[in-house]
Structure 1
Amino acid sequence: MTYEHRFDDIQDRPVAVIGAGTMGRRIALMFASRGGTVRLYDPVPRQTAAAVAYVAEALPELIARRGSGEPGQVHAADSVPEALKHAWLAVEAVPEQLDAKIQVWHRIDEAAPDDTIFATNSSSYPSRLLAGAVGDRTRLCNAHFYTPPISNAVDLMSDGATDRAVLDSLLAILPEFGVHPFEARKESVGFIFNRVWAAIKRESLAVVADGVARPEDVDGMFRVNWHLPIGPFRMMDQVGLDVVLAIENHYAEENPHLPAEPRELLRSYVDAGKLGVKTGEGFYVHPDAR
């Protein structure tokens, strides 16, 4: 298969986003912010409905803030095949569990058109680990989004056999939707930014786990010293502490020397059901959370 997508070739084709959680809905928002059509699928219908409602509410404000762009359309799909019909891009954004991702990719591979580009939003698993679930791994890659529209960088990374034209297409097309791709030049667990962020996050957790400071102290120093709007603990709350813990567990599998205390602190919050913004409480209380 040869990939020669250009923006004017694919603007009438939808993007399929599989997984309508925190990241899935935000990815859908970005593709809808420049006139794109998005089909969202999640096995939990109320999750899909909530994601569609989120995009409908956030889209006008995003376009107004940006000062340009036309609103696109986001549709709830009842199945993976419906989401993937005629799609030029399939983005998988399911929770960070390898077995679950592999099962989803089997379903995507069965339903997708032959020229659909495959991208996993995994924040810690290289797409190489998912390649066995797809028939043509040359169209598979990592496209790891952060927290759009607040943080609009995207890591692109080959699975080891990705067609060069797939990566070049995404490097050219994604900026049309207000996100900015950066290519990892070799396989890297954590990609580019997340490798640096992981060290900051882990040491921030260790400072709190050791009783040296509270989360708000660490975040406060980030705001004062680096003039950042939020610090590591509020950022982790936004991502979801269950997701952060899953990522940290994966890093620990790859690097057994990593200290256990940061993961133990995260696990205490997760076990208590305090997952961050999505549950209304994590390191902070979020009274206005959905």
Structure 2
Amino acid sequence: MPWQTPTIDSRPVAVLGAGVLGRRIACSWVAGGYNVTIRDPSAEQRQAAIHYIDNNLAEFSKILDKTTTGPGKYAAFEDLDSAVKNAWFVLEAVPEKLDLKTSTFGILAMKAPKDCIFGSNSSSYKSSLMLDNMDEEAKKRALNVHYTMPPSNRVVELMTSTYTHDEIFPFLVEKHRDIGLLPAVARKESTGFIINRLWAAVKRETLNILAEGVSDPEEIDTLWIEMFGRDKAGPCAMMDAVGLDTVAFIEDHYIQERHLDGTNTVDFLRNNYINEGRLGAKAGNGGFYSPGSTTKSEEGKQDFHDDLATPTLYILDIGLGENITHDFQHAGRILVTSGDGQNARPLITGLEAPDGIDISISDDRIFWTNMGIPSQNNGSVQSARIDGSEIQTVIAKGSVHTPKQISIDHSNKKLYFSDREGLRVHRANFDGSEHEILIETGDFRNTSDKEDQTKWCVGITVDPKNGRFYWTQKGFSKSGKGRILRSNIVMPPGATASTRSDIETVFENLPEPIDLEIDTESKTIYWTDRGEYPLGNTLNRGYVGDQQNGKAYEVLSRHLHEAIGLRLDKVNKQIYFTDMGGTVYRTDADGKNKTAIYNSDSTFTGITLAHLN
């Protein structure tokens, strides 16, 4: 039967798999004006993919030169039927397991429309190996369609399954050019296509150079960039970004098919990096480079892998900067931007003095506190979906006085938040139920208690692994009477929030400690401080294990302008923090390489992050 060109109209492109590459493929088609459905069994992956498109669609349109084309619609589904029922093109980007891909193609042959084209994004397996469960007619509509890493690399390679209708190739070439990508057609089946075979040779020889001790990663990459491209990364940084375990997995296929020696390639990688947990940018332990080295550090810098480890930042603007309006009580907003400070945009506006923020990708919710009017008992806690929609009140006005930092216990799905003039630490479920008072340092209805700033609870972080939570009591402004305290998550029997006996002072005589964050693995707590120089207006850290060394702490960064928000990027071993001067900073975990990644005329309070790339 001759091939019939599928009608498109409003029919979607379906992408199976919402991971790193799947969401980029989907965003490319949406930017090109095509409707897209995404299918993934993981709710967290689906939500992250939709949020990724929300945040990056404008940038894709710009890079792919599709700014004059209106974007398509997009949605994500858990079930396959909903995603593919009307698709004209289905692209599988599921994990690189041949039996899974074979099963997927077989199911698609039964469920997708009879004119639908089936593409596999696999770079390791030929599509001819995936067709065992397909009927003869469906086999003629199947092929490899391998995307590199849009939008920064626009190459798409098409390759026959040996059964594929010849007419499909010019049709798909035209459609990919239409969305701003650069398609190429392999003339015959070939493991690795065109680009990946060239890239495999580069990787292989790079690994040989390293295994033989001829050079090191930095030198190799420096020479590569000088010779072949100032705006691209070198081969070692590219392998780090892909993941060294993935590099080894792909190389295994070449070794098996071509009977290559793996001593200086996969064996070298596994013995010196992978077996030690050094998988590259994604793992938090580094690879050829230290953690954080593959994130963007300069405005406009791009590399081959589009900075896959860079987090998405969510920043609170209290609304007292240049954007202040006559209604300053409702001038607060949540901004969202990438970890390099590019493409910042408002996500939610009209907030009442927001101060603390945290995010649960798995539950598709952002949570934040609103201080309201500090002299009144009208603070609140709210949440929204991560796209900014469906705003809900979690803790109503009057149930919390002046809420400050908020911290999520992801293991138990609990919210912890401090209450400054309320003189309390609270805990509640994500929907606001089971609202508890954990700490009460005084009675906010008593004027002398309420005016005693040594009793004000400000920052909060939770350590469910070790069964503790920490909070700050800042003291009077610049007074040097601030403290960091901790207590057990489980209330002692018979105790109340005001009488519990398990409270321990961790650090004291601090200038004015504000927000907190804990690294549970190293038992290290980080905090911002708004006190006087030289110890105030700083970023700090100290060990909080059971064997503290004289309760000493170290100042990591100075000269901030009323420091508040704080968040650890545990993947890249970096710290993000904000100040009321309108700057977002990033440093390494030891405070080095301080960079102001985002400056504005706003007044920043809280910050949180998520890895969505």
TM-score relative to the length of structure 2: 0.45
In the alignment, is the contact (CA less than 8 A) between 2:143 and 2:159 conserved in 1? yes
Who is 2:112 aligned against? 112
SS in structure 2 at match of 1:279: coil
Q: 1:110-166 CA distances to partner (integer Å, 9 max, x unpaired)?
A: 321111100000112111101113222100001111111111111111110101122
Who is 2:51 aligned against? 53
Taking the aligned partners of 1:270 and 1:77, their CA distance within structure 2 comes to 34
SS in structure 2 at match of 1:132: coil
* 2:266 corresponds to 1:263: yes
Taking the aligned partners of 1:172 and 1:86, their CA distance within structure 2 comes to 21
1:237-252 paired onto structure 2 within 5 Å: 237-252=240-255
Taking the aligned partners of 1:40 and 1:230, their CA distance within structure 2 comes to 30
1:199-238 paired onto structure 2 within 5 Å: 199-228=201-230, 229-238=232-241
Who is 1:88 aligned against? 88
In the alignment, is the contact (CA less than 8 A) between 2:19 and 2:49 conserved in 1? yes
Taking the aligned partners of 1:96 and 1:275, their CA distance within structure 2 comes to 17
In the alignment, is the contact (CA less than 8 A) between 1:22 and 1:239 conserved in 2? no
SS in structure 2 at match of 1:26: helix
1:45-194 paired onto structure 2 within 5 Å: 45-65=43-63, 66=65, 67-135=67-135, 136-194=138-196
SS in structure 1 at match of 2:28: helix
Give the drift of 1:27: 0.7
In the alignment, is the contact (CA less than 8 A) between 1:4 and 1:165 conserved in 2? no
Who is 2:281 aligned against? 277
In the alignment, is the contact (CA less than 8 A) between 1:11 and 1:36 conserved in 2? no
Q: Which amino acid aligns with 1:30?
A: S
Taking the aligned partners of 1:69 and 1:95, their CA distance within structure 2 comes to 32
Q: Which amino acid aligns with 2:59?
A: E
Cα pair distance change 1:134/1:199, threshold 3 Å: same
Who is 2:457 aligned against? none
Taking the aligned partners of 2:11 and 2:229, their CA distance within structure 1 comes to 41
Moved more, 26-35 or 210-219: 210-219
Question: Looking at both structures, which has the greater relative contact order when contacts are Cα pairs under 8 Å and sequence separation is at least 6?
Answer: 1
Give the one of 13, 20, 23 matched to 1:22: 20
In the alignment, is the contact (CA less than 8 A) between 1:2 and 1:165 conserved in 2? no
Give the drift of 1:4: 4.1
| Larger Rg belongs to | 2
Give the drift of 1:11: 4.2
Q: How many residues align?
A: 288
Q: Which amino acid aligns with 1:57?
A: N
Taking the aligned partners of 2:70 and 2:283, their CA distance within structure 1 comes to 32
Moved more, 220-229 or 236-245: 236-245
Taking the aligned partners of 1:202 and 1:131, their CA distance within structure 2 comes to 30
Who is 1:38 aligned against? 36
Taking the aligned partners of 2:279 and 2:50, their CA distance within structure 1 comes to 22
Taking the aligned partners of 2:109 and 2:276, their CA distance within structure 1 comes to 37
SS in structure 2 at match of 1:185: coil
Taking the aligned partners of 1:260 and 1:107, their CA distance within structure 2 comes to 39
Q: Which amino acid aligns with 1:259?
A: G
Taking the aligned partners of 2:9 and 2:283, their CA distance within structure 1 comes to 36
Q: 1:183-217 CA distances to partner (integer Å, 9 max, x unpaired)?
A: 11111111111111110111111211222222222
In the alignment, is the contact (CA less than 8 A) between 1:60 and 1:71 conserved in 2? no
Cα pair distance change 1:106/1:252, threshold 3 Å: same
Give the drift of 1:168: 2.1
Taking the aligned partners of 1:278 and 1:38, their CA distance within structure 2 comes to 27
Q: Which amino acid aligns with 2:288?
A: F
Q: Which amino acid aligns with 1:213?
A: S
Give the drift of 1:265: 3.2
Give the drift of 1:278: 3.2
Flag structure 2 segments of 5+ consecutive residues without an equivalent: 296-309, 312-610
In the alignment, is the contact (CA less than 8 A) between 2:248 and 2:266 conserved in 1? yes
Q: 1:234-287 CA distances to partner (integer Å, 9 max, x unpaired)?
A: 222332333222211111110112333211233343344443333343333236
> What is the RMSD of the two structures over their aligned residues, measured on CA atoms?
1.9
SS in structure 2 at match of 1:144: strand
Who is 2:407 aligned against? none
Give the drift of 1:220: 1.1
Taking the aligned partners of 2:279 and 2:53, their CA distance within structure 1 comes to 22
Which has more strand, going by share of residues? 2
Give the drift of 1:46: 0.9
Cα pair distance change 1:230/1:12, threshold 3 Å: same
Cα pair distance change 1:278/1:45, threshold 3 Å: farther
Flag structure 1 segments of 5+ consecutive residues without an equivalent: none
SS in structure 2 at match of 1:68: coil
SS in structure 1 at match of 2:131: helix
SS in structure 2 at match of 1:163: coil
Q: Percent identity?
A: 39
Q: 1:71-100 CA distances to partner (integer Å, 9 max, x unpaired)?
A: 222211111111101000010111222122
Q: Which amino acid aligns with 1:161?
A: Y
